[in-house]
């Protein structure tokens, strides 16, 4: 599937896209070929008209479009007036006409159209198409078909963002004589429309995914606030009563565990509600951090193997929280005799076990809140892993370990 930029740059119609101030923001190779100029000559320039038109012509058509902002639901007509090449007709506005022009360098006569672009109903810029004249009847028909396609639907992007979809009605007759040089523009337009539709679908799905993630984080916050903190408060109160009756190193250990739980609850709430802002990064000895996380998990006869060296830039509490949940997941699903390996990756680290692994059809679901295949599991362990990773700007993926178990890879997210 072509992306928009690839499809746009491959279009044979010489085309530029201007922003609302008339600055050139996107252009294709066809405009470079027609004008016989290098890419570097276009880049960072605020106008392209000086290359296209002779010194006697007036303001370029696109600038006339930009001078009269309209709502996206109004109708724009592009047609032919008298002996001029093109005109732009706005409802209840004077008719603007462009005179014939000569392209510098090649000396070719050209025909051009400007089409406004919208974002959220406001004018955001303009397309300007430039075409060399030709005498081919077939090319004439293809150009008319292209205009008909544009008339039905034109979807545009401005600097990577989706612009509002706008409908344009064009005049039935484009030219009385003379033709436009077209090289498979109709097929290319179809490719562009397909690429744009795919981008719309991808953008919509990304927004829906983000909404689902936010919903899960809010769900976390609710569960942590009520279902975890309340019983912890009861346990802490009972512990304080017992400590008044007697001293015991076991009670001190319970108190430390309660403090650890309270810290984890506070941190999880911070991740759920504030995301990246909740991360306090520092340089950590990663191997020592791994062993600290292992020591607070009920691992039974499980074995830890650390193949990691060096340091990691992370929040100490959060990364331990991530590791502890991966360790618990391994013991819960692979059994008390599991061997867990933590190792380095070029752009992160991994946690693997030698258990039964995770079937491919379940890997997309394991991070969902409440999803668990264990009888006693809450289904939130791996959701916490993903939330902590997101807060650090990391991504978590599940794959097969070398010993046929599960392997969780935590890497820096692509920029």
**pLDDT tens, residue by residue, 325-356:** 899 888 888 888 899 999 999 999 999 998 88
For residue 118, is it within any domain? Answer: yes
Question: Among 146-155, 330-339, 384-393, 401-410, which stretch is predicted with the lowest mean pLDDT?
Answer: 146-155
Let me know if residue 196 belongs to a domain.
Answer: no
Q: Are residues 328 and 210 in the same domain?
A: no
Q: pLDDT-based confidence at 33, cuts 50/70/90?
A: confident
CATH number of the domain within which 375 lies: 3.30.565.10
**Domain end call among 275, 294, 313:** 275
Name beta bridge partners: 77: 89
Placement of tokens 């969902």 in the chain: 368
Q: How far apart are CA 348 and CA 241, in angstroms?
A: 45
Same domain (yes/no): 130, 264: no
> Measured between alpha carbons, how far is 188 from 332 in angstroms, rounded to an integer?
55
Q: Which of 254, 275, 296 is the C-terminal boundary of a domain?
A: 275
Does some domain include residue 152?
A: yes
Given a contact cutoff of 8 angstroms between Cβ atoms, the answer to whether 78 and 88 are in contact is: yes
In a domain, 415, yes or no: yes
User: Quick one: pLDDT at residue 272?
Assistant: 61
Single pTM value for the model: 0.41
CATH code at position 217: 1.10.287
Residues 6 or more apart whose Cβ sits within 8 Å of residue 210:
none
Percentage of the chain lying above the pLDDT 90 cut: 13
Mean pLDDT of all residues in 265-288: 72
Residues 14 and 46 grouped into a single domain: yes
The structural domain count of the chain equals 3
Same domain membership, residue 76 and residue 110: yes
Residues 305 and 395 in one domain: yes
Domain of residue 170, residue span: 4-183
Residue 165 shares a structural domain with residue 306? no
Q: Is residue 188 assigned to a domain?
A: no
- 87 close to 78: Cβ distance less than 8 angstroms: yes
Same domain, 223 and 159: no
Residues 396 and 315 in one domain: yes
Assigned domain for 200 exists: no
Q: Are residues 283 and 334 in the same domain?
A: yes
Domain boundary among 244, 275, 306: 275
For residue 197, is it within any domain?
Answer: no
Instruction: Identify the pLDDT of residue 360.
Output: 81
pLDDT of 132: 61
CATH number at residue 76: 3.30.450.20
Looking at the structure, tell me whether residues 250 and 389 fall in a common domain. no
Are residue 260 and residue 297 in the same domain, yes or no?
Answer: no
Assigned domain for 193 exists: no
Dist CA 389 CA 412 (whole Å): 9
Q: How many Cα atoms occupy the beta-carbon half-sphere of 291 within 13 Å?
A: 8
Are 80 and 143 in the same domain? yes
**The pLDDT value given to residue 240:** 87
Query: Which residues are CB-neighbours of 179 under 8 A, at least 6 positions away?
Result: 133, 134, 135, 136, 137, 139, 140, 143
- Find out whether 301 and 335 touch, Cβ atoms under 8 Å: no
Question: Average pLDDT, stretch 370-376?
Answer: 53
List, for residues 56-113, the tens digit of each pLDDT value. 444 444 555 555 554 433 333 333 333 232 333 333 333 333 444 444 545 556 666 6
């Amino acid at each position: 599937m072509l992306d928009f930029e690839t499809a746009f740059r491959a279009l044979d119609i010489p085309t530029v896209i201007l922003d609302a101030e008339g600055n050139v923001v996107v252009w294709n190779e066809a405009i470079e070929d027609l004008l016989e100029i290098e890419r570097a000559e276009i880049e960072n320039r605020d106008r392209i008209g000086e290359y296209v038109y002779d010194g006697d012509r007036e303001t370029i058509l696109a600038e006339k479009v930009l001078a009269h902002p309209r709502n996206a639901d109004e109708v724009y007509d592009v047609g032919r007036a008298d002996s001029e090449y093109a005109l732009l007709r706005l409802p209840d506005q004077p008719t603007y006409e462009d005179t014939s022009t000569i392209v510098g360098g090649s000396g070719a006569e050209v025909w051009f159209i400007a089409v406004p672009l919208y974002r959220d109903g406001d004018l955001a810029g303009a397309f300007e198409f430039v075409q060399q004249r030709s005498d081919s009847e077939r090319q004439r028909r293809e150009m008319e078909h292209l205009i008909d396609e544009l008339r039905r639907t034109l979807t545009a992007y401005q600097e990577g963002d989706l612009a509002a979809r706008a409908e344009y009605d064009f005049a039935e007759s484009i030219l009385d004589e003379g033709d436009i040089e077209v090289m498979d523009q109709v097929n290319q337009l179809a490719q562009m429309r397909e690429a744009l539709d795919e981008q719309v679908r991808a953008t919509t799905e990304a927004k829906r995914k983000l909404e689902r993630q936010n919903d899960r984080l809010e769900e976390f916050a609710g569960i942590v606030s009520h279902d975890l903190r309340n019983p912890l408060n009861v346990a802490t109160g009972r512990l304080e009563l017992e400590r008044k009756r007697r001293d015991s190193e076991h009670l001190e250990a319970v108190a430390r565990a309660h403090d650890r739980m309270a810290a984890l609850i506070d941190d999880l709430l911070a991740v759920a509600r504030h995301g990246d802002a909740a991360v306090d990064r520092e340089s950590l000895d990663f191997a020592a951090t791994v062993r600290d996380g292992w020591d607070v998990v009920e691992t039974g006869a499980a074995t830890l193997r650390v193949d990691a060296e060096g340091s990691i830039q992370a929040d100490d509490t959060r990364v331990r929280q991530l590791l502890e949940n991966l360790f618990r997941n391994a013991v819960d699903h692979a059994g008390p005799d599991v061997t867990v390996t933590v190792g380095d990756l070029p752009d992160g680290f991994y946690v693997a076990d030698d258990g039964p692994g995770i079937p491919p059809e379940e890997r997309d679901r394991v991070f969902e809140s409440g999803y668990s295949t264990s009888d006693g599991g809450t289904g939130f362990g791996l959701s916490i892993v993903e939330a902590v990773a997101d807060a650090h700007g990391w991504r978590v993926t599940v794959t097969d370990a070398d010993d046929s178990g599960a392997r969780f890879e935590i890497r820096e997210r692509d920029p």
